[in-house]
Amino acid sequence: MRVRIYFAAILVTLVMAACNKSVSDRTADLPALKPTSLDLNAGSWKPVLLTRPDTFAVAAPAATNSPAYLADLFEIKAYQKNLSGGDMDKIKYWSAGGVLRWNEIMRSLVAKYNVPPYQNADGTYPAPNSANPFAYPLFPFSNPPYAGRAYAYVSAAQYDALVACWYYKKLYNRSAPYVVDSTVKALVPRTALPSYPSEAAVLAGVTAEMMKLLFPDEIASIQQKLQEHELCAIKAGVATRAEITAGEALGRQVAILFTARGRGDNAGKAIGTPTDWAGLVATTHATGQVPWFSLEAPARPPMLPLFGKVKAFLFDSATAVSLRPGPPPLTGSDQMKAETIEAHNFIVNASREHLRIVQFWADGVGTYTPGGHWNAIAAEDFITKNFSEVRWARNLALLNMAIMDAGIVCWDTKYHYFNPRPTQLDPAIKTLTGIPNFPAYISGHSTFSGAASSVLGHIIPDRAGAYDAMAQEASNSRMWGGIHYRTDCAVGLTVGRNIGNYAIQRATKDGAE
């Protein structure tokens, strides 16, 4: 009898399990964002590119007794009469935080476009072309440096746009529609934050406009997200049509500052030319060192060899060069031999725990890259901190500018020394993750992680030790996977932390602390 009951229970469990396989995201069911502080003075925080918070004018809103304002209220009420379950789901989704949701969307775009082009029949490789982004290979190939830059531009632009937004919110001090008219329902938590211009529309507008530079194939799909985000703000009773219109216009204007900077920041030339590629080999030969070569077949041109020349956000180009570390061990040295042997030892009979760590931090093809991984880590902790939207944006801007600039210094170092991977020196080293198609010294993961962990440790000091441990683990994972020497990882972490300090310096002076 008992056996039968057990059997029935197992069967029922299995059937139930069979019926429900759908998987949901960790952040799918978040509560609405309820900021601990509204940061009403954020209009005085120091922007990244804007010289003043009111560089772009936002006209005063229409009076609350004007026909235009009343018509806007009618629109909200009309929507609120007929809200479907789907509408409520979308309102709930966006209410968790606009900066969070747009950051998640950014990470998904990076993952989507992070696929290296397939070779031509003659063994050469086509390059994505921003002038013809829909032709294969799609533009962009959002590899780690490209992704780091994309995260930085979007986060910094969102931050500047919200600083301007907060400036006008305080200036005009317009109450939310549900405050002005008590028959307008608040479908998200009520706040005292002025609603003109709408921060949702500012975020949507600034992000959508940035797509023209960063992910031009996605302009249409992001426009749909923009409309969804804006409409949710109206349906939720937190913004009127006029507040949305003003917000989106402000966001787009701020974005144009950033897209203009992006078109001139040298990233477009980072891929280099065949002459540049050959020059790297010749220069390294001249120093008596073994030059890097591609371990892909057919041999692929090195990834973004001139990315080191991209204009950083946190320091000038001379400082970027000064952040470059000294040389790696000579390729013929005993130390290099010992580190190659060490890399080999790691891949022989790797423990399951090492394999887990290598996979956890792999962040390779088809992923949101190491920069995205740190955004995910940051976002999940920020959720617990109940930051205002503008503080969310500021913190992600600091994080992502550090990540982008870490990419610049790391890539500069990689192509300055053009140091081979362990497998190039010892082909017996079969790796536990894919070998990236660029030189070894210094480790990109280590540099990104050193920078990201130090910035996050400043933002959430009680987690600083945890972030350090994560960065150390990310760094080790590349050594344990057989794709880096110990020196690449150790020096990468140090350089990354130095870059993180520039973001921390900025953070202490931007008015937000």
Neighbouring CB atoms inside 10 A of 81's CB total 7
Closer CB to other proteins, residue 114 or residue 198? 114
Query: Stretches 17-25, 284-292, 392-400, 406-414: which one binds other proteins (CB under 8 A)?
Result: 17-25
CA atoms within 13 A on the CB side of 242: 20
164 to 95, 229, 329, 472: CA distances (angstroms) = 21, 19, 49, 38
> Does residue 18 belong to the site contacting other proteins (CB under 8 A)?
yes
Q: Which of 407, 408, 401, 436 is nearest to 422 (CA)?
A: 436
Size of the site for other proteins (CB under 8 A): 46
What span, in angstroms and rounded, lies between the C-alpha atoms of 50 and 58? 15
Q: Which of 428, 447, 449, 430 is nearest to 439 (CA)?
A: 447
Min. distance of Cβ 27 from other proteins in angstroms?
6
Within residues 321-360, the interface with other proteins by CB under 8 A covers 347, 352, 355-356, 359-360
Residues ≥6 apart with Cβ < 8 Å to 13: none
Q: What is the CA radius of gyration of the chain?
A: 25
Helix (H) or strand (E) holding 347: helix 334-347
Burial of 29 (0-12, 13-18, 19+ CB in 10 A): exposed
Query: Stretches 56-64, 218-226, 336-344, 428-436: which one binds other proteins (CB under 8 A)?
Result: 428-436
Closer CB to other proteins, residue 60 or residue 365? 365
Let me know: does 266 contact 306? Beta carbons within 8 Å: yes
Residues ≥6 apart with Cβ < 8 Å to 120: 126
Closer CB to other proteins, residue 10 or residue 59? 10
Min. distance of Cβ 20 from other proteins in angstroms?
10
Residue from 4, 22, 51, 84 in contact with other proteins (CB under 8 A) = 22
The length of the chain, given as a count of residues: 513
Q: For residue 475, what is the DSSP state?
A: H
Min. distance of Cβ 283 from other proteins in angstroms?
25
> Does residue 23 belong to the site contacting other proteins (CB under 8 A)?
yes
Let me know: does 204 contact 226? Beta carbons within 8 Å: yes
Interface mask toward other proteins for 289-308; x: CB under 8 A: ------xxxx----------
Closer CB to other proteins, residue 26 or residue 190? 26
What span, in angstroms and rounded, lies between the C-alpha atoms of 312 and 402? 9
Interface mask toward other proteins for 59-98; x: CB under 8 A: ----------------------------------------
Interface mask toward other proteins for 470-499; x: CB under 8 A: ------------x-----------------
Min. distance of Cβ 221 from other proteins in angstroms?
11
Closer CB to other proteins, residue 434 or residue 511? 434
Closer CB to other proteins, residue 234 or residue 347? 347
What span, in angstroms and rounded, lies between the C-alpha atoms of 482 and 343? 5
Closer CB to other proteins, residue 294 or residue 317? 294
> Does residue 248 belong to the site contacting other proteins (CB under 8 A)?
no
Q: Where are the alpha helices (DSSP H) in 121-218?
A: 144-172, 177-180, 199-214
Query: Stretches 12-20, 81-89, 143-151, 448-456: which one binds other proteins (CB under 8 A)?
Result: 12-20
> Does residue 133 belong to the site contacting other proteins (CB under 8 A)?
no
Query: Stretches 142-150, 180-188, 199-207, 423-431: which one binds other proteins (CB under 8 A)?
Result: 423-431
127 to 61, 271, 372, 414: CA distances (angstroms) = 48, 9, 23, 21
Residue from 90, 92, 101, 107 in contact with other proteins (CB under 8 A) = 107
Q: For residue 196, what is the DSSP state?
A: S
Closer CB to other proteins, residue 179 or residue 376? 376
Min. distance of Cβ 26 from other proteins in angstroms?
5
What span, in angstroms and rounded, lies between the C-alpha atoms of 457 and 404? 18
What span, in angstroms and rounded, lies between the C-alpha atoms of 485 and 441? 8
Min. distance of Cβ 370 from other proteins in angstroms?
12
Residues that bind other proteins (CB under 8 A): 14, 17-18, 21-28, 104, 107-108, 111-112, 115-118, 136, 295-298, 347, 352, 355-356, 359-360, 362, 364-368, 376, 423, 429-432, 434-435, 482
